[in-house]
């Protein structure tokens, strides 16, 4: 049940679209995406440098990715709870320190002698995953609470649109430098960002809640103790499934789809992912304006999700025959899933101030964690259905859940966020 937040203290003045909270959240997400995708980009060269065989690179690389995703799942819960108990800023500071240290540590893997380097690598990616889990949810929560409701959609779109360009920078950093330097640069960017964060103020809504000692804050289990609240929470997660289907299946395994489609040129998954994220960044920048024009979060997300579905079908079944066409479709699908910021914003807007950061931080990381069953299902279906149809079946499930969730979840456009969950 939602109840108003009552406080005799004035609210913190609202910020502008280009105020420090928005800028710092955007740059934080930029570094977050850089570091999140970096291992995927350097997986082969880094493990080859450590002396692994091609078979070991495949198995050990998959294991390290799973460790990172496990860190994201755990970190999403930990940082979400902390964001509601200790404040949004505590997460913005703590998460970036955690993953910056982990990334710098990854830059020295070749010099590790006190334990197996690949075990150390997996451990550091696990720690990095924990840190990376907190950045977006806390940033979106803070921006949503300090911006006036008329500008929330555009502000959060700016955060994600600018942040997602970190994928492009990560790709070219690896091309210009070696993989160890790329990790060190990521850690250095994080610590540099800490200097900007010193001037950011806490959300006034959160400050008011802390004065109400009787209010339970950051209770993750509260999502499971009320049927209506659980329904909203699960639908928030469902909305995000198509985004990671496109990234984790169609883009990540683009080399397999390229062969299945009969494309002669070898497809580079790293390049496919980069073009997907270029489209994602443009889509995220556009989604806020689309939402404002339609005066609806739901219509904007449904429109973009429909675009993603259309180009996914073209990718799988129209019979593209060139690498250029495949990369172009990755760009188009990326634009379609460019409702990522809107999806996280919806997660923040669905819940009261006392569990808002918990929702906004855990929801996207639950979606990231569901990549594991997606990839397992895809691999299991390939022998019987072939590559194209295996991908299509996984995508069908993700899009059905995604459309059902966005069409049935409550609308939050223009919603006053100054309330509590009881």
Backbone angles phi, psi at 186, to 5 degrees: -60, -45
Residue 331 is assigned to a structural domain of this protein: yes
Distances (CA, A) of 332 to 97, 153, 286, 310: 35, 22, 13, 10
Question: Do residues 108 and 145 share a domain?
Answer: yes
The mean of the pLDDT values for the chain is 81
Question: Do residues 207 and 229 share a domain?
Answer: no
Residue 139 is assigned to a structural domain of this protein: yes
Residue 240 has a pLDDT of 93
Phi-psi region of 351 (alpha: psi -120 to 50; beta: other; left: phi over 0): beta
Residue 348 is assigned to a structural domain of this protein: yes
CB distance 200 to 20 below 8 Å: yes
Question: Do residues 184 and 226 share a domain?
Answer: no
Question: Do residues 251 and 172 share a domain?
Answer: no
Identify the residue whose tokens are 């700016």.
158
Residue 218 has a pLDDT of 56
Backbone angles phi, psi at 408, to 5 degrees: -110, -10
Residue 122 has a pLDDT of 92
Of 123-127, 144-148, 227-231, 278-282, the range with the lowest mean pLDDT is 144-148
Residue 8 has a pLDDT of 41
Q: Which of 215, 246, 276 is the last residue of a domain?
A: 215
Specify the pairing of strand 2-4 against strand 419-421: antiparallel
Mean pLDDT is highest, among 133-137, 195-199, 277-281, for 277-281
Residue 419 has a pLDDT of 59
Residue 217 has a pLDDT of 54
Q: Which of 160, 185, 215 is the last residue of a domain?
A: 215
Question: Do residues 25 and 161 share a domain?
Answer: yes
Residue 312 has a pLDDT of 96
Average pLDDT over residues 78-102: 77
Average pLDDT over residues 345-360: 81
pLDDT band at 211 (very low <50, low <70, confident <90, very high): low
Packing angle of the helix pair 117-132, 20-49 (nearest 10 deg): 160
The residue ranking higher by pLDDT, 86 or 131, is 131
Residue 360 is assigned to a structural domain of this protein: no
Neighbours of 306 (CB within 10 A): 13
> Is 17's pLDDT higher than 70?
no
Question: Do residues 275 and 298 share a domain?
Answer: yes
Q: Which of 165, 187, 215 is the last residue of a domain?
A: 215
Residue 77 is assigned to a structural domain of this protein: yes
Question: Do residues 105 and 33 share a domain?
Answer: yes
Would you state the structure tokens that stand for residue 320, as one six-digit string?
């593209």
Residue 309 has a pLDDT of 97
Cβ-count burial 273-288 (b if 16+ within 10 Å, e if not): bbbbbbbbbbbbbbbb
Mean pLDDT is highest, among 40-44, 203-207, 379-383, 388-392, for 388-392
The residue ranking higher by pLDDT, 227 or 220, is 227
Residue 403 is assigned to a structural domain of this protein: yes
Question: Do residues 209 and 321 share a domain?
Answer: no
The residue ranking higher by pLDDT, 200 or 303, is 303
The residue ranking higher by pLDDT, 355 or 123, is 123
Number of domains in the chain: 2
> Is 396's pLDDT higher than 90?
yes
Question: Do residues 226 and 207 share a domain?
Answer: no
User: Which H, E and C letters describe 355-391, residue by residue?
Assistant: CHHHHHHHHHHHHHHCHHHHHHHHHHHHHHHHHHHHH
- Please choose, from the candidates 98, 94, 77, the residue with its C-alpha nearest in 3D space to the C-alpha of residue 35: 98
The residue ranking higher by pLDDT, 378 or 12, is 378
- Whole-angstrom distance, CA of residue 202 vs CA of residue 125: 30
Average pLDDT over residues 61-90: 79
pLDDT band at 416 (very low <50, low <70, confident <90, very high): low
Of 13-27, 135-149, 297-311, the range with the lowest mean pLDDT is 13-27
Question: Do residues 242 and 128 share a domain?
Answer: no
Look up the domain containing 175 and give its range: 13-196+203-215
Q: Please, how many CA atoms are within 13 Å of residue 62, restricted to the half-sphere of its CB?
A: 12
Question: Do residues 181 and 255 share a domain?
Answer: no
> Is 230's pLDDT higher than 70?
yes
Chain centroid to Cα 28, Å, comes to 12
Residue 362 is assigned to a structural domain of this protein: no
Question: Do residues 104 and 73 share a domain?
Answer: yes
> Is 216's pLDDT higher than 80?
no
Quote the percentage of the chain above a pLDDT of 70: 84
pLDDT band at 362 (very low <50, low <70, confident <90, very high): confident
Average pLDDT over residues 223-238: 90
**DSSP per-residue codes, 107-135:** TTGGG--SS-HHHHHHHHHHHHHHHHTTH
Per-residue model confidence as pLDDT tens digits over 98-124: 888 999 999 898 888 888 888 999 999
The residue ranking higher by pLDDT, 119 or 210, is 119
Q: Which domain CATH number covers 40?
A: 1.20.1250.20
Residue 190 is assigned to a structural domain of this protein: yes
Residue 127 has a pLDDT of 93
Residue 126 has a pLDDT of 94
Mean pLDDT is highest, among 134-148, 163-177, 313-327, for 313-327
């Amino acid at each position: 049940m939602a109840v108003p937040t009552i406080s005799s203290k004035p609210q913190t003045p609202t910020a502008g679209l280009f105020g420090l909270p928005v800028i710092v959240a955007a740059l934080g997400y930029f570094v977050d995406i850089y570091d999140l995708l970096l291992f995927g980009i350097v997986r082969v060269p880094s493990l080859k440098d450590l002396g692994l065989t091609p078979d070991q690179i495949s198995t050990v690389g998959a294991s390290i990715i799973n460790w990172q995703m496990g860190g994201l799942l755990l970190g999403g819960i930990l940082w979400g709870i902390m964001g509601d108990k200790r404040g949004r800023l505590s997460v913005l500071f703590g998460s970036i320190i955690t993953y910056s240290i982990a990334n710098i540590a990854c830059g020295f893997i070749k010099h590790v002698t006190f334990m197996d380097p690949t075990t150390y690598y997996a451990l550091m990616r696990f720690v990095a995953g924990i840190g990376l889990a907190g950045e977006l949810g806390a940033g979106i929560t803070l921006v949503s609470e300090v911006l006036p409701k008329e500008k929330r959609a555009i502000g959060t779109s700016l955060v994600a649109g600018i942040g997602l360009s970190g994928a492009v920078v990560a790709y070219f950093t690896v091309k210009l430098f070696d993989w160890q330097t790329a990790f060190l640069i990521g850690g250095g960017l994080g610590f540099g960002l800490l200097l900007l964060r010193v001037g950011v103020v806490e959300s006034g809504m959160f400050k008011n809640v802390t004065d109400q000692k009787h209010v339970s804050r950051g209770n993750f289990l509260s999502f499971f103790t009320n049927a209506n609240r659980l329904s909203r929470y699960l639908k928030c997660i469902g909305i995000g499934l198509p985004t990671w289907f496109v990234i984790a299946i169609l883009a990540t395994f683009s080399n397999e789809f390229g062969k299945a489609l009969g494309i002669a040129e070898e497809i580079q998954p790293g390049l496919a992912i980069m073009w997907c994220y270029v489209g994602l960044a443009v889509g995220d920048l556009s989604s806020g304006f689309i939402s404002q024009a339609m005066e609806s979060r739901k219509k904007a997300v449904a429109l973009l999700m429909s675009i993603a579905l259309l180009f996914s079908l073209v990718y799988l079944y129209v019979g593209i025959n060139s690498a250029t066409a495949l990369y172009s479709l990755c760009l188009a699908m990326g634009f379609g899933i460019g409702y990522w910021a809107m999806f996280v914003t919806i997660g923040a807007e669905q819940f009261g101030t006392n569990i808002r950061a918990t929702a906004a931080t855990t929801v996207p990381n639950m979606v990231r964690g569901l990549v594991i069953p997606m990839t397992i299902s895809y691999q299991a279906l390939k022998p019987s259905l072939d590559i194209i149809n295996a991908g299509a079946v996984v995508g069908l499930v993700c899009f059905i859940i995604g459309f059902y969730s966005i069409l049935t979840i409550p609308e939050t456009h223009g919603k006053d966020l100054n309330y509590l969950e009881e």
